[in-house]
Structure 1
Amino acid sequence: MPALVDFLKQYRVKLVGTLFAAQFDKDDGTEYYWEPELRIAVYGSINDKDAVGTCLSDAGMYLQHPTSAEYDPRFPYVNPHYLVRPGGEMPRIDELRISDHEQGSQVSERLNEGVKSELFRILDTVNTYEGSYEACSSPRLASRLKPHQEVALAMMIERESEQIDGLKFPSIWEGLGNHRYRHRITGAIDTDPKPMRGGILADDMGLGKTLSLLSLLCCSLDAIDCLQLPLDSPRATLIITPKSTIPGWVAQIKTHIKHNQLRYFIYHGASRGKAKPSLIREYDIVITTYDTIRQDWRIKDGLSTATWYRIVLDEAHRIRSQSSQVFKAVSSLKAHFRWCLTGTPIQNSIDDYGALLSFMQMPVLETKSAFDYWIASPVKRQQPGYIRTLQALVAATAFRRTKKTLDSALQLPKKVERTELIHLTAADREVYDYFKAKASKTAAKLSGEAQDPGKQAGADTTLALINILRLICDYGERLLPKSALELWRNRDRHVDDVITAPWESVDSCLNEEDFVPDDRSTPARDKAAGGSAKLGDVYDAAERTADTPAQMPMEECHESSFDLSPKMIALLKNLERQKRDTSQSGLRPVKSVVFSQWTKMLDLIATVLHSNNYNYVRLDGGSSLTDRRLALEKFTRNESCTVMLASIGSAGEGIDLTAANSIHIMEPHWNPMLEAQAVDRVHRIGQSREVSVTRYLVANSIEDYVRWVQEDKLAVIHQSLASVPTSQADLDHRRWKVCRVLFLSATLIEYD
């Protein structure tokens, strides 16, 4: 291009080009072809920006926004062809909308299984700290730390010392001598580097992250009191946590901190009106929820206006989406130190980790554009050396140990897992076979329609059909929604019908990143909480029902509701055996946690337990904070209370169930991590007895298939998705959802 030749002669600039090869693709029967494309970034003096813009526009060339993967974030970004209002500033590059139709403009958000496994391996093995350290022993603590918790405390104290030299734990800065330091990721040289002021404590669930954090808080309060800082200096730590985990934090404080040695305040619900800024300064800890912070941030009031000594995000993966209001709200808070507590810093995307670093204000990698340039793009493209870069980054920012690596030191009791095979009654099998035939026929018809990203009906109905079959496995026709029950009762008049049904919110059901329960209510949840259930209202409880109140009051069950299903008979038999064995041996009663994804299933189990004189408590998404606290206290302290009923999602975060040593999982879940998290609430530090896990599985049913998918087929699906060309996959993120819809349809067809 002659204009570029003249351009290079006139100005001192550097051109950096990225070449995208030709691509050929086929989708929905349509063929797509992209020509090769060269994208050029221009680097030069800020003083020449206007002249450069004029030179290019005179030649008919106009500067576009680069993607984060093409742009070196060490330099300020200015586009002379971008209109900035008077008095305004050029937006950051990650705030500018970039066309999704450009080749290479985005790299795939979801990682293929190979890269994901490598990331998890790095997380699990990079922290092999060895050496001497001095553990802080605060007089405020009532509990003694285990060795691995003392190491975590030493790491956090070192990070908050703000030192650069003489560190025992890995640092993001490498000393070169003569007061010069090199950034381990970018290679940038600095004589006055910004130190780390926090980090990610990513220990495996059940290893005591909460106690380690409380120990840090006690040590820092001791130091603050010794220094006698001015009264207006911040001393309070703000803990942001899911609503469901607030009782857990209160219980941990009461257990591990001596009486009156730490002042805490719960800023949530009605108590928010009592919390004036002067009152908040009187406390050492303020505990609130993500949704409360988001609300305060939107109105620029409350906690969002304060300056904190320390901010702690519990279950920090809640902020993994940087476009969310929750992320923006917590990132806008002012604090000296920032910590993230999460056992899953990476769930589906390397961007999850970038969000945590952005909140932590990680030196050099704070912005999304910088993280994309130095980390995300090399990882997603698997560029040479990306593993070494990741190892350096994780070692300097996160600290993680697993139960496996600490097995000998923890000496946890044995965990025994077994599957109990269940056979449906003849009546339930008849219902099951009827809906199985309907489901297979419907899925075969809808699988073609689901290929259109604009059509969600196929997805909606397929999910509903699969869940109907799963409900039948639990309790026959007694769990069916009204419309499905009517279809069954009038089956002779609808021989050839194909089932169709509306679906309230297919997005939340298809997005695997949203498996973590949310505090917020939604119209779909509110609708599901009352009234009769429609066919489309039958959804995966661990994704949504786990946080809704019971959907069907017991008085609305039809006449056969109290007949025991085969699963219920097996559960009752196992509970009776446990009761009999402990009474004969004179040991403490065995306490059991019964997990189900369906709140209506919990309703039925509760009725059976009540009729058999079991003293039980219940936790689900509809439980208030007070209800949760009272239920946990009763289950822990009352010897006669031997059973807890819990939705699998509501017990996945922030509660200690070590009072139990028997676990019953009533049905398999698509996501085995949710099951593992629930089990780890029982099998964790503090457990003194052998833990038994019983999974109830109906033979020759969709549950066989769900278990197989858990163990084998998901890896195949992820690998097939990873083979989709990058630009095509990112052209529309919903394609991933469509792929899963096709898989779900194929599940029913293949299963039939």
Structure 2
Amino acid sequence: MRQQTPKEMACDLLEHQKVCLSWLIRQEKNDRKRGSLLADTMGLGKTIQALALILAHPSKNPNVKTTLLVAPLVLLHQWEREIEHKVKNASSLKTIILHGDAKNTIGLEQMLGYDIVLCTYGKLTAEYQTLKAKRQSDVNPSRHTNRLLVLHPKAKFHRIILDEAHNIKNRSGIASLAACEVNAEFRLCMTGTPLMNRADEIYPLIRFLRIEPYNEWGRFSRVIDRPIRNWKGKAVLQALRKLRVLLRGIMLRRTHDSLLDGEPIIKLPARREVDAYAVFDKEQEAYYRALESKQQLKFNKYLRQGTVMEHYLRILTLLLRLRQACDHPHLIKNLIESDDPESESLSTEGSTPESVALDPASITTGDAFEEDGPTEDGMQPSTVQQKLMQCNCCHEYVKQAVTIKSCGHVVCSKDYEELIEAELEISSSDEDFFPVFWGRQTKRIQNESRDAGKNGFVSMVAVRSHAIGRLQEMEDYRHNIRKSFVASAKTQKIMSILQTIRANNMGEKTLVFSLWPSFLDLLEIPIGEADLSYRRFDGSMNATDRDDAVGAFMTKPDIKILLLSLTAGNAGLNLTAATQVIICEPFWNPYTEEQAIGRAHRLGQNKEVTIHRVLIKNTVEDRILRLQNRKRALVGTALIAEGATAAASLNHDEVRGLLGLP
């Protein structure tokens, strides 16, 4: 029997959402589970289903009534709006956002008087650091306790919900450890991408849900993770079968094509995909080929020396530069003019809050460990582990890491990939999101970025990063890039697409996603010259400005374009006003692109959506597309039937292919 729409809701649940609500309640009432993993694909209404659960299965204990909802900063106000719009009398569901002034002024008893408390993963990690300090200190432990709220020893929640739960996929990361510390009767993970690369990414979710016996890493690693990683014989088939059985008991996953009562659970408008190929002019072609040849020579040198893995982080940077050159030569301007570009500041936007110089040669090796890792409570690792490097992002102990010269922070290869890939921009409003790099180092790093040209090198990234938050310097930066701007193959192609959209249908709106906000800076120039109205959404903007940009795009007919950095705008946002999506460059992981496309092609969309992927043939980009196709074949099928997971890192053959080598 399907649970009906709670009477407090202002909208009717769809049939597949009623099925989900019934399942969620059964999971919570099962004493062996008391929680679940909701892994519906994007656009099926995970938010509405979670709200329905809160209303349909409230606490019977007035002293333990609060649902703690943890989400990325950018989604907090969206959750608040959903509560206002989807609940008949929203004031009866008392809600507070534990961010900004509220987190510093509210007390424990007052917080637990709310029905819903919204907070960021950064708030969790900050409190976990405080909690760890308390445990390690014998001197005045109450001093630390007074600074705790969600992890206070006396804080008990009716339920904790992790939205975008893949944020805890690093099992030794602080966010993952912190989430496990929350005291709650029921636990719910929500993510459309519970597993993207490796089987061990699902483990932190199982540990958070406290599903025995696989919430113990040694058991999970021995029975599931290691056999899948080794990929040999019958062991891998047995491991995949156990993983599927485990997930079947705790996970509900539906896609747009899933059937209910013999029909697709939702009928979305058609989705049309177009590969829009741009063509280099002679100058850009020569520039790219020269850069590619240089990178090939470097890789071949590492190959001959047998040091490819020792130089893995450098190789990532070689590939990054090829990808940036496909967008616009200005993104890596000056870098290849140096005799040894690897010794210069790298154009790896987002590698730190201020994009300071990285030293890819600063790789420290140590003895590997198989099972141990940091302890579950985050305490000091064993002697063997002390020989390894601890990543300041995820706090895992690793064999290879890169050291940031300006502040001495250490970043593992996984996070280094994400940081240089994602151009993670940190503004003051995001302090909770990434507290590791925030603090007394900031001003010194900014000064070093400002003086980055001492050796004749200045990048767009360094100038842009220093200008963020400084009105006059940002104006000077924009004036300078406008003055030196020349069109690239991609900017011309993107403008051609935008002009065609305007000519064919004045009413259509477009999302433009790029990995690099500095490329969006360049793209703003021809968009402005063409008198196209637009807004911007990226990680350097504070939460209020982001909300304003989304609101204007969704509600103002004259705002036709929203420029988004791929990693800031690829998850959680509802942007169904758009019917056109432009992906400026391919991402390593196809599911990141899918999340971006899902901002427009989702429940609530009533028009056909067209996706334009802007590509350059015979470059690193079409090789990335082939890699994406392999990942689609490998990743995620373990969530349904037969399948496997992909390796986290590129192997020798993949790197050779991406660099255009036979």
Aligned CA distance change for structure 1 residues 387 and 498 (closer, same or farther; 3 Å) = closer
**Residues 5-404 of structure 1 mapped to structure 2, 5 A cutoff:** 132-135=1-4, 137-162=5-30, 194-221=31-58, 224=59, 229-230=61-62, 233-258=63-88, 259-300=90-131, 301-305=148-152, 306-372=155-221, 375-376=224-225, 382-383=234-235, 386=239, 388-404=241-257
Q: Identify if the C-alpha distance between structure 1 residues 358 and 523 changes in structure 2 by more than 3 Å, giving closer, same or farther.
A: closer
CA apart distance, 1:515: 7.6
- Whole-angstrom distance in 2 between the partners of 1:309 and 1:331: 15
Residue from 322, 331, 343 that aligns with 1:479? 331
CA contact (8 A) 1:247 1:628 kept: no
1:674 is matched with which residue? 592
Q: Residue 504 of structure 2 aligns to which amino acid in structure 1? A: D
Q: For each residue in 1:12-57, what CA deviation from the matched residue of structure 2 results, as whole angstroms up to 9, or x when unmatched? A: xxxxxxxxxxxxxxxxxxxxxxxxxxxxxxxxxxxxxxxxxxxxxx
- Write out per-residue CA displacement over residues 550-596 of structure 1, whole angstroms, 9 at most, x where no aligned residue: 9997447457633322322222222222222224xxxxx11100011
Separation in structure 2 between the aligned mates of residue 198 and residue 254 of structure 1, nearest angstrom: 26
1:372 positional shift: 4.2
* CA apart distance, 1:506: 6.5
Which residue identity does 1:606 align to in structure 2? E
Match of 1:507 in 2: 413
Q: Decide whether aligned partners of structure 1 residues 395 and 470 sit closer, same or farther in structure 2, where only a CA change above 3 A counts.
A: closer
- Say if 1:466 and 1:321 are closer, same or farther in 2 by CA, change over 3 A: closer
Note if 1:700 corresponds to 2:588.
no
Q: Structure 2 vs 1, CA of residues 478 and 364 (structure 1 numbering), >3 Å: closer, same or farther?
A: closer
Q: Which amino acid aligns with 1:520?
A: F
1:741 offset after TM fit, Å? 6.3
Q: What is the root-mean-square deviation of aligned Cα atoms in Å?
A: 3.6
Alpha carbons of 1:452 and 1:669: their partners in 2 closer, same or farther (altered >3 Å)? closer
Q: SS of the residue aligned with 1:573?
A: helix
Q: 2:572 aligns with which of 654, 667, 690?
A: 654
Cα–Cα, structure 1 residues 630 and 312, in superposed 2: closer, same or farther, change >3 Å?
same
Partner of 2:284: 428
2:491 paired residue number:
568
- Structure 2, unaligned stretches of length 5 or more? 132-147, 345-358, 361-403, 405-410, 425-432, 637-646
2:304 counterpart residue number: 448
* Matched letter for residue 320 of structure 1: K
Distance 2:212 2:631 in 1: 40
Q: Please give the per-residue CA displacement for 1:502-552, whole angstroms capped at 9, x wherever unaligned.
A: 435571466679988973166599769954599999999xxxx9xx99999
Give, in angstroms, the shift of residue 645 of structure 1: 0.4
SS of 2:569 mapped into structure 1: coil
Q: Which residue of 1 aligns with 2:655?
A: 744
Conserved? CA contact 1:464–1:535, under 8 Å: no
Secondary structure at the aligned position of 1:688 is classed as: coil
1 CA distance for matches of 2:46 and 2:648?
34
Residue among 606, 617, 633 paired with 2:535:
617
CA distance in 2, matches of 1:538, 1:746: 28
The verdict on how the C-alpha distance between 1:522 and 1:596 changes in structure 2, with shifts beyond 3 A counting, is farther
Structure-2-length-normalised TM-score: 0.73
Identity across matched positions, percent: 26
CA distance in 1, matches of 2:342, 2:212: 55
CA drift at 1:247: 2.8
- Counterpart for residue 318 of structure 2: 465
| 1:370-393 Cα shifts (integer Å, max 9, x gaps) | 444555467667447555544432
Picking from 506, 520, 526, the partner of 2:434 is 520
Change (3 A) 1:498 1:717: farther
**1:272, distance to aligned residue in structure 2 (A):** 0.7
Aligned mates of 2:169, 2:492 — CA distance in 1: 42
What amino acid sits opposite 2:297 in the alignment?
K
Distance 1:669 1:539 in 2: 22
Deviation by residue 1:332-374 (Cα, 9 ceiling, x = unmatched): 1111101111122223333333322221122444333344455
Q: C-alpha displacement at 1:418, in angstroms?
A: 0.5
Asked whether the equivalents of residues 464 and 539 of structure 1 are also in contact (C-alpha less than 8 Å), the reply is: no
C-alpha distance 461-537 of structure 1, shift in aligned 2 (>3 A) = farther
- The answer to whether the 8 Å contact 1:443/1:746 transfers is no
CA distance in 1, matches of 2:158, 2:45: 22
What stretches of structure 1 of length at least 5 have no aligned partner? 1-131, 163-193, 488-493, 584-588, 719-734
Q: Is the 8 A contact 1:443 1:749 kept in 2?
A: no
CA distance in 1, matches of 2:635, 2:52: 43
CA contact (8 A) 2:64 2:156 kept: yes
CA distance in 1, matches of 2:304, 2:23: 55
Query: Which one-letter code corresponds to 1:469 in the other structure?
Result: L
Q: Secondary structure at the match of 2:612?
A: strand
Per-residue deviation at 1:270? 2.7
Deviation at 1:500, TM superposition (A): 5.7
Matched letter for residue 300 of structure 2: A
Aligned mates of 1:243, 1:436 — CA distance in 2: 38
How big is the shift at 1:161? 2.9
Q: Quick one: which amino acid aligns to residue 3 of structure 2?
A: E
Q: Deviations over 1:591-610 (max 9, x none)?
A: 10001111110101122222
**C-alpha separation between the residues in 2 aligned to 1:145 and 1:396?**
24
Distance 1:274 1:561 in 2: 48
Q: SS in structure 2 opposite 1:340? A: strand
SS in 1 for 2:10: coil
Shift of 1:152: 0.6
